[in-house]
Chains A and B, each alone.
Chain A
Amino acid sequence: MSDIYSNPIGHWVVIAVAMTLLLFVVLTATAYTVWFERVALGRIQRRPGPNRVGPFGLMQLAADGVKLAFKESFVPEKTDKVLYVAAPAIAVAAAFLAWAVIPIGLWYNVQYWIADVNVGILVVFAVSALNVYAIVIGGYASNNKYSLLGGLRSAAQLISYEMSLGLALVPTFMIVGSLRLRDIVEYTVHWGPYVGPIPLIILTPVGFIIYLISAVAETNRAPFDLPEAEQELIGGFLTEYSGLKFVMYYLAEYVNMITVSALAALLFFGGWFLWVVPPVFAFLLKVVLFLFLYIWLRGTFPRLRYDMLMRLGWKVLLPLAMLNVIVTAIILVAVEG
């Protein structure tokens, strides 16, 4: 299987097919993530959730999608028309681009699809950094006070939490010695009789907790969903968006959620390794568990106030992440000499 990638023509064929397939897989996964969220959130509130369209409400998203797609696609007066239309497109592009480097552990020898670059995780960060543009430009171009405030809030939030997110992963890189996502998953330890991959959360538990909190903040999810806070900002940067443009933002949010869950599974939970479970199912299982954690958090915690959010990011998570890097470095030097 691996020589498919080394053959120049086969390489491009694989990439073209993988891109198309991945687009549909991620789209479908997103649709069912939305379904999963609505059902799980419903169960947390002791109600059944959507169960009308199709068996168990599984076709709900198709119905919603059709409804939103047939809405009138209008641009409000006095907006910056070009930017208003471009912003949701940036959101979707940024959300999907990250999947170029995420190895999804398809089968035993095909662990990556599109690209296996040696700065993989940096590419994910780079692409997710572009998310800020979608939100800020959307808020700015809407020419609406609430949109602008939502956009600015989210820009501040994303920039502050991106630092903790990046620093939380540095210990992982230091232990593994590579930024390639495949290397991180396949990191092998020789512990006495045991030789093989381990979930790296054992080695970097603090990093995982910081990653978890920052990732929730980074994807603008509850309890850090200040940019869209309905109660105070009537939907934030989304206020003026409707129809397909709204769908694009919505899609981007859920794709980002899946991306972050997939990264957590890859970086801290051994990716596609799970006993005898076939790789792709093991990977899926871990991602779904993380998605459930997301929903669980959303169903449990109230939204943070803005100053609390900033305090948590700058005064707790960032110093903790730095300390984590330093301590890990010291331990590494002590162990490896």
Chain B
Amino acid sequence: MPDKDKPPEARPEHPTPLRGRDEGVPAKPEGQGTSIAADIGALTKGLRTTLGEFFSPPVTLEYPEEKTPRSERYRGRHYLRRYDNGLERCIGCELCAAACPVGCILVIAAENTEENRISPGERYAKTYEINMLRCIFCGYCEEACPVQAIVLGPEYELSDTSREKFIYTKEKLLEPLPPDVQARLDAKK
């Protein structure tokens, strides 16, 4: 049955109907309805509450100096990992680029040769770039990677001064991992 044939009453109501004046306000309890004493009591209760808050310690963190601890699984900036012998893990399979929902990863693979061995596999990533302005930090690249070459680290303060600096190149991504992430990954092995 087409929608227009429905009588207008049958349509679902607006989920939160707009409120008129004093509508939806909880009714005052009986007995202490409109007495001035109750109103003054309410006012002083408010003042007492705020005064109590005044003398309790602040709950805020002073951000640049103090930071909240990141979860173990926090997804911040990316790192490319190496094997213990110094070879790059990335084998240039481009699965990360394929998994990326926003297409921010660019991988150009090249063949490994005997003289120039960069990764243990057949190929390696000649170019590996991530556009951090596009990245949504979903972590699919990490899941897609067959050799656990790419991981997302805990850093989230990624601001910079020009758009070009947000194209993270391979050199930048190959920076050593923060020790705690390294330890976590080692423990998983």
Contacts and interface: CB of A to CB of B under 8 A. Distances in A.
A203 interface: no
A46 B57 contact: yes
A208 to B, nearest CB: 15
Contact of B53 (A44, A48, A51, A301): A44
Contacts of A297: 47
A46 B62 CA distance: 13
Interface string B44-86: 0011011101111111101000000000000000000000000
A47 B54 contact: no
A100 B57 CA distance: 41
A311 interface: no
B43 interface: yes
A47 B60 contact: yes
Interface residues of A, number: 14
A40 interface: yes
A300 B58 contact: no
Q: Describe A's contact surface by its main secondary structure.
A: helix
Interface string A47-62: 1100100000000000
Contacts of B51: 296
Contacts of A42: 58
A300 B62 contact: no
Contacts of A299: 50, 54
A43 interface: yes
A300 B60 contact: no
Nearest to A49: B58
Given A43-B54, A44-B54, A300 B59 contact: no
A300 B47 contact: yes
A300 B54 contact: no
A300 B57 contact: no
A40 B50 contact: no
A44 B50 contact: yes
Nearest to A51: B62
A46 B59 CA distance: 6
Nearest to A40: B54
A219 B62 CA distance: 33
Contact of A300 (B49, B55, B56): B49
Contacts of A301: 43, 46
A45 B53 contact: yes
A43 B47 contact: no
Contacts of B60: 46-48
B53 A47 contact: no
Interface in B120-172: none
Interface in A249-305: 296-297, 299-301
A296 B47 contact: yes
Contacts of B55: 43
A47 B58 CA distance: 5
A23 B101 CA distance: 64
Interface in A43-85: 43-48, 51
Interface in A66-108: none
B176 to A, nearest CB: 34
A45 B54 CA distance: 7
Contact of B58 (A40, A43, A296): A43
A296 B49 CA distance: 11
A45 B59 CA distance: 9
Contacts of A47: 58-60
Contacts of A300: 46-47, 49-50
B7 to A, nearest CB: 39
Nearest to B48: A300
B47 A48 contact: no
Contacts of B56: 46
A299 B46 CA distance: 10
Interface in A14-54: 40, 42-48, 51
Contacts of A51: 62
A46 B58 contact: yes
A46 B58 CA distance: 4
A48 B58 contact: yes
Contacts of B50: 44, 296, 299-300
Given A296-B51, A296-B54, 20 more contacts: A40-B54, A43-B53, A44-B53, A44-B54, A45-B53, A46-B53, A46-B56, A46-B58, A46-B59, A46-B60, A48-B58, A48-B62, A296-B47, A296-B50, A297-B47, A299-B50, A299-B54, A300-B46, A300-B49, A300-B50
Interface of A: 40, 42-48, 51, 296-297, 299-301
Nearest first, the 9 A-B pairs at minimum CB distance are A47-B60, A300-B50, A300-B46, A46-B59, A43-B54, A44-B50, A48-B58, A44-B54, A299-B50
10 contacts: A42-B58, A43-B58, A45-B53, A46-B53, A46-B56, A46-B57, A47-B60, A297-B47, A300-B49, A300-B50
